[in-house]
Amino acid sequence: MEAPRHDTRGIVDPAALLSRVRFRRHEPAEPLRRYVEWYWLIDWDLPAPYASHIVPHPSVNLTFQWDGADEEQAPPYGEVTGVALGLYARKLTGRGRVCGAKFRPGGFRPYAPEVPVSRWTGVALPAQEVFPQATRDAARSVVTPADDHARVAALDAFLLALPCEPDPQADLAMDLVRRIRADRTVRRVGDFAHAQGLSVRALQRLFSTYVGVSPKWVILRYRIHEALEHAGTHSDIDWATLATELGYADQAHLVRDFTATVGVPPAAYAAEAGAGG
């Protein structure tokens, strides 16, 4: 399995976010890496509120969080967040901490096999509704330690104690999403399904059950991640060429999807990023 990546793919204006929070990624314990891509830890202590924005990955996240200066008034809590279809916004105020486990696309289902992952799509709910073990004490054990090593160990202990049944279909779903993410030539669902020896309907059912979104959505989302990364890190972008490289029919389609997802046209986002946010 791949180690945690160090890019900021999916984060809107990463420079602004990283100047306000401490953000780290860590590997989970080896037995968990089959299904958990990485742990992500964020701490903040802000003089003024800040709204962070993310173009989400096709992943389910389990988080343990603490918001506020008074633990008695704002105790730690757990949350399961399904794949967010649109731009995800989170307002950060005062002091806080999040310790999250990002499951591989397709990797959450073995931990919650009773329902399709699409049940959680666009939904954030208390973790105890999915995992009864995610009590307030469990949340406290994860977010209270001051050092990363202890927080990671607590996340490992929580996840290793959960029932998890190996599922070949989950392995297949994870592999197919990896191929879509890595291969820019994957552009049409029908062609991709045929190349994998599947019918389009079978591929769609697999993604609905194990990933939570359609294969077309995954293809489009990774295109937007790529465009967002280019817009934030390159100057003098040839948008027509990039649109072709990402499999769009023309530049107008890229601009339309980027604007609908991020909220501003790519050229405007690139200009703002180049100006330092």
Does a structural domain hold residue 22?
yes
Residue 135 falls inside a structural domain: yes
| Pair 108, 176 in one domain | no
- Is residue 74 in a domain? yes
Where residue 79 falls (left for φ over 0; alpha for ψ -120 to 50; beta otherwise) is: beta
DSSP H or E stretch at residue 252: helix 251-262
Q: Are residues 59 and 143 in the same domain?
A: yes
Residue 241 has pLDDT above 60, yes or no: yes
pLDDT averaged over every residue in the chain: 91
Non-local CB neighbours of 170 within 8 Å, separated by 6+ positions: 35, 106, 107, 109, 110, 210
Number of Cβ within a 10 Å radius of residue 240: 13
Burial of 60 (0-12, 13-18, 19+ CB in 10 A): buried
What are the structure tokens assigned to 7, written together?
Answer: 């890019």
User: Which of these three, 160, 186, 220, is where a domain ends?
Assistant: 160
Q: Which two tokens stand for residue 153?
A: 């160990």
Q: Give φ, ψ of 204 to 5 degrees.
A: -65, -40
Query: Do both 88 and 131 map to the same domain?
Result: yes
Question: What CATH number corresponds to the domain at position 206?
Answer: 1.10.10.60
Is 66 in the same domain as 125? yes
23 and 119 fall within a common domain: yes
Clarify whether residues 118 and 211 are in a common domain. Answer: no
Please classify residue 254 by burial: count the beta carbons closer than 10 Å to its beta carbon, then call 0-12 exposed, 13-18 middle and 19+ buried.
Answer: buried
Query: What is the mean pLDDT of the segment spanning 131-148?
Result: 95
Pairing of strands 61-67, 124-126: unpaired
Please, which pLDDT band fits residue 233 given cuts at 50, 70 and 90? confident
- Domain residues for 229? 168-274
Residues 173 and 132 in one domain: no
Taking only the tens place, the pLDDT of each residue in 81-131 is 999 998 999 999 889 999 999 999 999 999 999 999 999 999 999 999 999
Q: Is 55 a domain residue?
A: yes
The two three-digit tokens of residue 95, written as one number? 């002091």
% of the chain with per-residue pLDDT over 90: 71
162-207: pLDDT as tens digits: 999 899 999 999 999 999 999 888 989 999 999 999 999 999 999 9
* CATH value at residue 97: 2.60.40
Last residue of a domain, one of 105, 137, 160: 160
**Is 122 found in the same domain as 210?**
no
Confidence grade of residue 277 (pLDDT, cut at 50, 70, 90): very low
Matching residue, tokens 């927080």: 151
The beta strands (E) that lie in 46-195 are given as 50-54, 61-67, 77-81, 88-92, 95-103, 124-126
Domain membership of residue 2 (yes or no) is no
| Judgement on whether residues 47 and 175 belong to the same structural domain of the protein | no
Residue 29 lies in a domain: yes
Q: Please say which residue of 160, 189, 210 terminates a domain.
A: 160
Q: Which tokens in the block code for residue 36?
A: 């958990």
Is residue 132 domain-shared with residue 230, that is, in the same domain? no
Is residue 172 located within the same domain as residue 155?
A: no
Residues 20, 128, single domain; the answer is yes
- Total domains in the chain come to 2
In a domain, 35, yes or no: yes
Q: How far apart are CA 125 and CA 221, in angstroms?
A: 23
Residue 5 lies in a domain: no
Residues forming a β-bridge with 95: 45
Tell me the per-residue pLDDT of 21-45, one tens digit each, with 9 for 90 and over. Answer: 999 999 999 999 999 999 999 999 9
Partnered with residue 89 across adjacent β-strands are 53
